Structure 1
Amino acid sequence: MDMHAYIDRLEEGALQGRLAAREDVLRLLELPSEGEDVRYLGRAARRVARAASQDTGRIWSAIGLDSRPCPKNCAFCSFGEAWGLVREERELSAGEVIAIARRLVAAGAAWVTLRTTEYYGFDRLCALARQIRAAVPGEYELVVNTGQMDEAEVAAMRAAGIGVVYHSLRLGEGVHTCFRPEERLATLRAIGRSPLRLAHLVEPVGPEHSNEELAHVFMTALENGASLSGVMARVNVPGTPGASTAELPEARLAQIAAVTRLCGGLRVPDICVHPASRQAVEWGANVVVVEEGAVPRSDGFCRDVWRGFDVEQARALLREAGYAVRPAASPGGAQGA
């Protein structure tokens, strides 16, 4: 079967609700990231996106609550104590977080993510989630991106008004992090057994990662029922171990996004790309990220949005690729359709 016919068959299966097999993921990842075959893949992925997302683009917002010198020293995170980039603890107050969340929701963000270090405190995080739910009305999903958790903690998050957990088995887990893969997988299983939805990207991707590694992480997301997946490239912050290595080319980032879209099919309605990429959005990603506060891809505490990429730019990027996107709130406070 030639490659175009093969992609056609995968597209048909995706539109019928079938998940692709690991071998399919590998075969698509093996395509050169330039050329007609990968462009054909991108066009097929965009058609699947139209069906899976109802051609709707969505903006994921993330608020980094705290930064501190972290003894975990994950190789891709600027907070690592060993790198010396973050020298003091900094934390947003509850009032600051609520104000940011209110602004993001009014601007049209579909998700508000509370991202913490391992040391923020679980009870504090749940209390803050309850405060946000009480203070920030609107149609948005409240998300947490924090450390490992068990089933009791997952249940407490649900009770606090949280609907989604971002958690992933990261590339190089146990090698470039101090966490055992089994710990991360236990949390994924706890989320999967709960009413909470799972968001799990293939991340943090560099050009050195093999197709087998990428496929393993993506299949882990599928096996644990992720409703949002996609790809996040590693950002090589100066002073971190990855600083001297190459970053992922945009063409490869877009290819991986297209593979996750085609192989996730209707089971994974939202596919995210981070950092935002016009090519990846045109090839099936319907979610881009706006983040501020403590950002592990920056050597500082961002008082503005990371890299200047705000909600308006995110909305414009998605619309240019043909997606409908929620507008900002009207002056009266109600959001348009």
Structure 2
Amino acid sequence: MNDTMWIHTLEKQALAGESLNREAILRLLALDPASEAALCLGRAAGRLARVATGNRGRVWSAIGLDCRPCPKNCTFCAFGARWGLMREERELAPAEVIDTARRLVHDGADWVTLRTTEFYGFERLCRLARQVRDAVPGAYHMVVNTGQMGDAEVRAMQAAGIDVVYHSLRLGEGACTCFTPEERLETLRAVARSPLRLAHLVEPVGPEHSNEEIAHVLMTALENGAVLSGVMARVAVPGTPDGRREVLSERRLAQLTAITRLCGGLRVPDICVHPASRLAVEWGANVVVVEGGAVPRHEAFCGEAWRGFDMAQARALLREAGYAVNTAEAAPGRDGNCAP
């Protein structure tokens, strides 16, 4: 069966609730991003996205709470102490976080993510999450993106009003980071055992990562019950070891997004691409990211939205691609269809 016919078969299987196996994922990853087969893949993923999402586009917002020189020294992260980019600590006050969250929800954010370094403090994070939840009304999802955790921490998060955890087994884990894959997997398992929902992107992806590595991380996300997945490209942050490395082409990023959409099928309604890409949105993504504050992909604290990509631009991008989105002054989820 040629690639085009085979991709149409995969689309039908995804609509029927069937999962793709490793062999199929690797075959899709091996397609030339510039080929007609890749274009067919992107169009199939775009059609599947409309069904899986009910034609809803969504915005994931993230507030980086703190940055400081970090001894973990992940090669792709601006915070690594060894790189000398972050020379002093910077931390948002609770009032600043609440004000930012209020503005994001007012502007239509579906998720509000509190992102921390490994050193913020778990109890402080839960306390802040409860303050945000109490001060900012709306049907948005409260997310945390923090360090490793076990069953006790997961229970505390739920009690604090958190309902989604962002955590990933990252590409190059144990080589580009100082964490072992098993450490990351332990947290994924703890979330999977709980009522909390998991968000897990395939990240940070660069041309240096093999198809086998990408397939493994994608399958890890799905096997651990991720309800939001997608792809985050590695950003070349000047001054980090990865700062001079080639980055993914937009076409390859869109291809990986489309593959994630087909793998998620109807079980993973929300597929995210970061940084935002119009082509990736056309090829299956329905979620884009607006972030600010401490951003590990930037060499300085971001007082405004990272790279200028704000809520208005995010909504416009999704709308131009044909998605219905929350509007400013409209609390997300009022239609009863706020996923995950």
Determine the structure 1 residue equivalent to 2:57. Answer: 57
Match of 2:243 in 1: 243
SS in 2 for 1:144: strand
**Could you report, residue by residue, the CA deviation over 1:248-267 in whole angstroms, capped at 9, with x for unpaired residues?**
11000000000000111001
> Paired residue for 1:260?
260
- Residue 90 of structure 1 aligns with an amino acid whose one-letter code is R
Aligned counterparts of 1:277 and 1:162: Cα–Cα separation in 2? 29
Maintained 8 Å contact 2:257/2:283:
yes
- Equivalent residues in 2 for 1:187-336 (5 A)? 187-329=187-329
Q: Distance in 2 between matches of 1:58 and 1:232?
A: 16
Structure 1 residue 328: deviation in Å? 0.8
Structure 2 counterpart of 1:318, one-letter code: L
TM-score by length of 1: 0.98
> How many matched pairs?
335
Distance 1:335 1:54 in 2: 13
| Residue in 2 that maps onto 1:141 | 141
Structure 1 counterpart of 2:99, which letter?
A
The answer on whether the counterparts of 2:202 and 2:231 sit within 8 Å (CA) in structure 1 is yes
Counterpart Cα distance in 2 of 1:221 and 1:318: 24
**For 2:288, what is the secondary structure of its paired residue?**
strand
Aligned twin of 2:86: 86
Q: CA deviation at 1:9?
A: 1.2
2:76·2:243 contact (CA, 8 Å) conserved in 1?
no
For 2:161 and 2:21, locate their aligned partners in 1 and report how far apart those are by CA, in whole Å: 35
TM-score of the pair, normalised by structure 2: 0.97
Residue aligned with 1:291, SS? strand
Cα offsets for 1:215-244 (capped at 9, x unmatched): 000000000000000000001110000111
% identical equivalent positions: 70
Say whether the 8 Å CA contact 1:327–1:335 is kept in structure 2: no
Counterpart-to-counterpart distance in 2, 1:285 and 1:334: 19
Distance 1:41 1:157, change over 3 A: same
Residues 36-69 of structure 1: per-residue CA shift (max 9 Å, x gap): 1101000000111011111100000000000000
Aligned with 1:60: secondary structure? strand
Structure 2 contact 17–267 (Cα < 8 Å) conserved: yes
**Could you tell me whether the CA contact under 8 Å between 2:202 and 2:229 is conserved in 1?**
yes
**Distance change (3 Å), C-alpha of 1:14 and 1:335:** closer
Q: Is the 8 A contact 1:329 1:336 kept in 2?
A: no
Partner of 1:122: 122
CA spacing shift, 1:108–1:82, aligned 2, 3 Å: same
Distance 2:181 2:332 in 1: 44
**1:162-205 Cα shifts (integer Å, max 9, x gaps):** 01000000000000000010000000000001000000000000
User: What secondary structure does 1:204 align onto?
Assistant: strand
Give the match's secondary structure for 1:295: coil
Q: Match for 2:286: what amino acid?
A: N
CA RMSD, aligned part only? 1.1
Alignment gaps of 5+ in structure 2: 336-340
Q: Is this contact kept in 1: 2:139–2:334, CA < 8 A?
A: no
Amino acid at match of 2:42: G
Deviation of 1:278 after TM superposition, in Å, equals 0.3
* Structure 1 stretches of 4+ moved >2 Å: 333-337
| SS at structure 1 position matched to 2:219 | helix
Aligned counterparts of 2:41 and 2:90: Cα–Cα separation in 1? 44
Q: Hey, what's the Cα distance between the residues in 2 that align with 1:209 and 1:98?
A: 38
